[in-house]
Amino acid sequence: MASVVLRRMMAANLSSINRINTSYNNARGFAAAVGTDIVDSCPEVRLSKARSWDEGVSSKFSTTPLSQIFKGRKVVVFGLPGAFTGVCSAQHVPSYKNNAEKFKAKGVHSLVCVAVNDPYVMNGWAEKLNAKEDIDFYGDFDGSFNKSLDLGLDLSSALLGHRSQRWSAYVVDGKIQAFNVEKVPSEFNVSGGDVMLGQI
C-alpha cells in the first residue's frame, strides 16, 4: 500500500525529475554528481551518528563533520526516505549488510546509511535490522545534508514530511566516483548493494 501511495504521489512530479542514465548508472539533474566533493558541497553540514538517548546525553549531543566520515577514506554511502519503512527495511539496508564482506574485499573502509531521522530512531532501526556491526547509521536530523546535495524530497502525501530520494554513492577522499538515484523512492533498481559492487 505504501508503495502504491508513493507511486501515485510522484506521478505528478516525474516531469521535473531527470531520469537515470542507465548506461552509467549516474544521476542527472542533481547538485551531486560524479566528481562532486561532498565535503566542499556541504561545508557546514554535520550528521548525527546513531545512538541511544543516554549516549546522546553523555556525548553532549555531539555531531560528526562530513570530513571525518569521507576524507582520506573509501566510503559507500546510501540515502533513503526513512527508518522503519518498507523498501528501506526489506531491501535497501539488507543489500549492503549482506554484501559487507565483499565491499571490504574491494577496499571500502565503511558503509554509511543516511536518512532524515533523529539518531535515536536510527539506532533503534539499526538494532532491529542487526546491521550496526556492518553499517554506520547516521541521522540527517534536519535534512540539511540531503538538501545540500539537492536530494531532498517532500513525501508528505505518505505522512513522512520532508525526506530524501533513494540514492547511493561511492566516495573516495570526499569525491563522488559513482552516483545513483532511483526514479521514485518506492523503486529499488539502481541504488542497492549489488549494483554498487559492480561500480567499484
Q: Which residues are catalytically annotated?
A: 88
Task: Write down how long the chain is.
Answer: 200
Indicate the residue type of 117.
N
Q: What dihedral angle (degrees, nearest 10) is formed by the CA atoms of 134, 196, 44, 13?
A: -120
The DSSP H or E segment spanning 1 is none
Contacts for 41 with CB less than 8 Å, ≥ 6 apart: 31, 32, 148, 149
Q: Which residue has the cell 536518512?
A: 115
Burial of 169: CB neighbours in 10 Å, binned 0-12, 13-18, 19+: buried
Buried b (16+ CB within 10 A) or exposed e, 50-84: bbeeeebeeeeeeeeebeebbbeebbbbbbbbbbe
Cα distance between residue 78 and residue 12, in whole Å: 25
Rounded to a whole number, what is the largest CA-CA distance in the chain?
Answer: 48
